[in-house]
Chain A
Amino acid sequence: MNKLRVRVYNVLFGDAILISVPDAAPGESPALRHILIDVGNSLVTEGGEDSVFKKVVADVLTELAGQPLDLYIMTHEHMDHVQGLQYYQTKVLHGQPIKDKLQTRYAWLTRSAHPDYYTPGTPGYHPNAKERKRLEQVFLDEAREYFQAAPDEQTDWVRGLLAINNPRKTDDCVSILRDLAPAHTHYIYRGMDLNGTHPFREATFEIWAPEEDTATYYGQFHPVAFGAVAGIGPSGKPALARVEPPRGVDAGAFYNLLDWRRRGYGDNLLSIDSAANNTSIVFCLNWRGWSLLFPGDAEVRSWKEINKRSLVKSVHFLKISHHGSITGMPPEDVLGELLKADGTRRYVALSAYPDLEKQARGEQEWTYPEVPRQEVLGKLKSRADLQQTIQVADGGYIEYAFAGGTSNVTIGTSG
């Protein structure tokens, strides 16, 4: 029991990571403690296949060997990070609470998942966040109405983002996660006192993000005039309003205006998506000289905030943020520090989908043409040893073992 192990599972488009840490206070014999990060995937195409969770959760339970999970961490509220345990509860346990099967001592959820985060009059209330949430909800409702009225407009691009950012489904999943360790669920943010929030004695945590007030991460959000009217279509479905240009107004200019007023929903969807990604818990786990960084899906705004606060340091292991998208890549200076070229061997793990080679051969359709990006992979390969979950079977894993001393790393796979 002298190796820290990191299993990065292939859950297709999503994240599930198990960290097993030999942990002991000075003079005590070490106990093997386990951290489970996320477990989810979400896509409208094959990358969202849920059955992988059976195998992944089974493997986690095997590793726990009847002992409780020491710490569960939900990085952020996105379906590709939160829906796996709900699936397991519903489909495998047939409704039996997952917390009975996956007994959990402590749970960390990102701060904005606090049930009172949007509740006026409570200590954790953030009015800007509430207003933003309201705007997002109104927008998403209107978007769904629009896509019912104009189904041809709902491309895979749209379906994928709507699926990942579905607030109602996400809430269902998060409520299960809040309940994993009822007496010991903590809502994490940078600067928070971590005493009493986890059982670790030897390993230490540095919380780099998120900020407590998520307003820091809001991007631009614009009103979009979809022009869909509820109840006027066949069977009471929404339909697009038919409007004619008034006399004296050029028809081309008129319809161009309507088009521009509708355009921008793509920007809004990405803005919603980025804001949630940036609420990711970004933490560095330090153990016997090793530093391992798990940034969830943090995007540029979060990296900038982290850098502004001089938290960045070189790490031995980095879980690549946001499945290898360009927006999840740390800025050059941050990446340069994280994966410093000082002769130390460094490791990066990418949980991404699809297989880029298959994609290049046109054998795989894909919702996000930008995730992962070849240029991102190129940058990572030039700095570190890059492993991708796509290399192993669905539900399988890549395993890193960090032994004493900071030069002894082995990498294996589940098959």
Chain B
Amino acid sequence: MVKVRVKMMVDDGEFAPLRTAEQTEGFEVTSEEFFLDGPVTKQVAVLDLDEKTGLLEPGVRYVPPPPGKTLGRYDIADPPDITSRAFNQVSVFATVLKTIQMFQKSDVLGREVSWAFEAPQLLVVPRAGQMENAYYECYSHSLQFFYFPSHVDKRKIVYTSLARDIVAHETGHAILDGIAPHLWSAIAPQSRALHEAIADLAALLVSIDSPTLREAVLAKTRGSIKQSTHFSALAEQFGMERGTGALRNLYDEDLVLGSHVRSEEHDLCRVLAAALFSVLVRMHEDRKRQLASGPDDYPVSGKALILAAEQFRRMVMRALDYLPPGEISFADYGRAIIAPDQAAYPRQKKERQWLCDEFVRRHMVDGPEALAVTPPPPDGLKGIDLQALVDSDWAAYDFANSERGRQLLAIPPGVQFHIEPRLQVDREYRHKKKDGKPNDQKVAECLFKAWWYHEEVNRLGPSFPGRRTIACGTTMAWDQETGELRVLLTSNPERHPGEHAVQQADRDAMLGRLVDEGVLRPGPPRLGPDGRPLRFEASVETTERTMRIASIARTFHLARGVLP
């Protein structure tokens, strides 16, 4: 298979607060079947549209490998001119692909990511127009990166597509949308905050993956990430050029969930991301202790960070596949991290305990028992033709609709439900032999998801229907070789009534805020000039009695409130 070496920004050199030795670094794209000018590949197409003229700027030329070689490249100057459109096209492409490849690793998702829209390519517009923002938009299959004149020096233009963390963040949204599409229409603030937090963590992990950045950050802190660093500061350059500072800082030991941080997704996301970052810090400190041969752990801090980040990535990203469908609470996500980890490493409890400690300390769950995952009965699927469940939609539905199936999947009696296409994945789990040598194990898993609508009171006042429906569901995973049930997680409100009550109140607050902002309106949707619903209003389906939000916003933005 052809590989292509591409250059990407380490950091935006002109604006970077952290002066790295190199402005760019190379990266080998190994996951794509073909490469074309643009760059255009099977999964990603960079479309350099000029927002003023509407014209498509020429895409950078692909240079195939010389005869007998396997390494191709894109035709940019060496050393690259980072102000050129050609470099911008390649850099944004490289960063998107790097993020995708990170998720696809065999110890993370163990499969090719699929998009929430029914098309193979994510379209990337590197200079989409002037705005202090960037977004992922499912409907247009695209990531759109905007630019703006620096508030500090008006002569300079800040291109968000040159910022590694911003590109990785938006790509993270696109990937998560493919994994958990219900989060798009979720109205629980914690569900939406999860989207933001995962995007932030994608940005963090892609930054840590840069040798140049690792070296620079650890040199500055003498081997520690237990403080605010370039890694923890999301969109630092973006914020500095807006004259505000980093958009978010993942290092925040004091931030807890409370009445002041409750219903706004970007605020809530800070709590989740800070909790998970604290776990990463503990993993790093622990690794350093294991690797250091003396009191000075600086020499091993880089390797420790690579190992800690790998383990962290496995836990927090792999968990996404196990999320139950529908509205998700932080507790649901915590359980989705713990359940597969517990199944794979039943005796290694340390990291799970750290995670639990953080969730409890930050009031994200009521107590440690909220994250206690009782392993499902391994023989829970005994006697079922599991291959038929994989191959046949009818067999899958028939099983779920049986008394045994409904009980196992927590589907309430009489409720209509949907079954998602089953996912077969090959996951690698890192183990060690007694002598300390790696003993990685592959597990072929099947993921089975069922979901349905749950009805609850809608406290939005008499202009709106008195009830609303939200999606909820169950994810089940079994070992395809042994047939053993490994993971069983549900967001059925009846199984976690306390959490549900809190989520319901949060949904009320969030919807109330949207009404205040004019994004959510009673009555039929307002139509635009083309007779279609307005682009940026909430899409709501209502009957006399109930309402269901189809989507709150049509985009996942990097920043809120940045536009007048």
Residue from A157, A267, A332 within 8 A of B535 (CB atoms)? A267
Q: Counting CB contacts under 8 A, is B537 at the interface?
A: yes
Assess whether A248 is interfacial by the CB under 8 Å rule.
yes
Quick one: which of A249, A263, A301 contacts B45, CB cutoff 8 A? A249
A residues in contact (CB < 8 Å) with B: 128-129, 131-132, 135, 153, 155, 157-158, 215, 218-223, 225-229, 240-241, 243-244, 246-250, 252-254, 256-261, 263-267, 269-270, 274, 299-301, 304, 326-327, 331-333, 369-370, 373, 375
> Could you say which of A128, A158, A269 contacts B564, with CB atoms under 8 Å apart?
A128
Q: How many residues of B contact A (CB 8 A)?
A: 54
What residue of chain B has the Cβ atom nearest to residue A244's Cβ? B56
Partner of A247, one of B37, B128, B515: B37
How far is the CB of A73 from the nearest CB of chain B, in Å?
26
Task: Please pick, from B40, B53, B120, B123, the residue contacting A227 in the complex, using a CB distance under 8 A.
Answer: B53
How would you classify the secondary structure of chain B's contact residues: helix, strand, loop or mixed?
Answer: loop
Tell me which of A135, A243, A247, A257 has the highest count of chain B C-beta atoms within 10 A of its own C-beta: A257
Query: Is residue B106 contacting chain A, with contact meaning CB distance below 8 A?
Result: no
B141/A256 in contact, CB under 8 A: yes
Smallest Cβ-Cβ distance to A336: which chain B residue? B462
A223 touching B47 by the CB < 8 A rule?
no
- Contact between B47 and A257, CB atoms less than 8 A apart: yes
CB–CB B119/A247 < 8 A: no
Is the Cβ of A332 less than 8 Å from the Cβ of B564?
A: no
Cβ of B563 under 8 Å from chain A: yes
User: Chain B's nearest CB lies how many Å from the CB of A237?
Assistant: 15
Whether A254 and B47, one on each chain, are in contact in the complex, defined by CB atoms closer than 8 angstroms, is yes
Nearest chain B CB to A376 CB, angstrom units: 10
Indicate if the CB atoms of A274 and B518 lie closer than 8 Å. yes
* B189: interface (CB < 8 Å): no
CB-CB nearest in chain B for A301: B518
- CB atoms of B128 and A267 under 8 A apart: no
Query: When chains A and B are docked, how far (Å) is the Cα of A20 from the Cα of B523?
Result: 38
B54 at the interface (CB under 8 A from A): yes
Among candidates A158, A226, A253, A370, residue contacting B121 with C-beta atoms closer than 8 Å: A253
Q: Mark B370-400, 1 if CB is under 8 A from A, else 0.
A: 0000000000000000000000000000000
Considering only residues 30-46 of chain B, those with a C-beta below 8 Å from chain A are 34, 36-38, 40-41, 45
Contact check, B526 vs A370: say whether CB atoms are below 8 A apart.
yes
Task: Tell me if B142 is interfacial: C-beta within 8 Å of chain A.
Answer: yes
Q: In whole angstroms, what is the CA distance A47 to B523 when docked?
A: 25
Q: Mark B116-128, 1 if CB is under 8 A from A, else 0.
A: 0001110101001
Interface flag for B259 (CB, 8 Å): no
Q: Are A220 and B521 interface neighbours, CB within 8 A?
A: no
Listed from nearest, the 4 A-B pairs whose CB atoms lie closest are A227-B54, A266-B528, A260-B140, A241-B54
B564 touches A215 (CB 8 A): yes
Given the contacts A155-B529, A248-B40, A250-B119, A228 and B140 also touching, CB distance less than 8 Å:
no
* B137, CB-defined interface residue at 8 Å: yes
18 examples of A-B residue contacts, CB within 8 angstroms:
A135-B564, A155-B529, A223-B51, A243-B55, A252-B119, A253-B119, A257-B47, A257-B142, A260-B142, A261-B51, A263-B532, A266-B530, A267-B534, A270-B526, A331-B461, A331-B515, A332-B461, A369-B527
- From known contacts A157-B529, A250-B121, A300-B518, infer whether A223 and B139 are also in contact, taking CB-CB under 8 Å: no
Is B516 part of the contact surface with A, judged by Cβ < 8 Å? yes
Chain A nearest Cβ from B395, distance in angstroms? 33
The interface residues of chain A lying within 8 Å CB-to-CB of B45 are 246, 248-249
Asked if B103 is at the interface of the complex by the 8 Å CB criterion, the answer is no
Contact A153 B523 (CB under 8 A): no
Cross-chain contact A261 with B523 (CB below 8 angstroms): no
Task: Give Cα A259 to B34, complex, Å.
Answer: 27
Question: Contact partner of A257 among B36, B120, B123, B529, CB < 8 A?
Answer: B123
CA distance A223 to B47 in the complex (A): 17
Q: Are B47 and A375 in contact (CB under 8 A)?
A: no
In the complex, per-residue mask of B49-75: 1 if CB is within 8 Å of any chain A CB, else 0 = 101011110010000000000000000
Chain B contacts for A263, CB-based, 8 A: 528, 530, 532, 535
The answer to whether A153 and B529 touch (CB under 8 A), given A226-B54, A253-B121, A264-B535, is: yes
Complex CA distance for A49 and B221, rounded to whole angstroms: 72
A222 pairs with B536, CB closer than 8 A: yes
Question: Nearest Cβ in chain A — how far from B316, in angstroms?
Answer: 31
The reply to whether B119 and A332 contact each other, CB–CB distance below 8 Å, is no
Question: Which residues of chain B have C-beta atoms less than 8 A from A248's C-beta?
Answer: 34, 36, 38, 40-41, 45
Nearest chain A CB to B352 CB, angstrom units: 41
Q: Least Cβ distance of A50 to chain B in Å? A: 25
Pairwise interchain contact B534-A266, C-beta atoms closer than 8 A:
yes
A225 and B128 in contact, given A258-B54, A266-B530, A274-B518 (Cβ under 8 angstroms) = yes
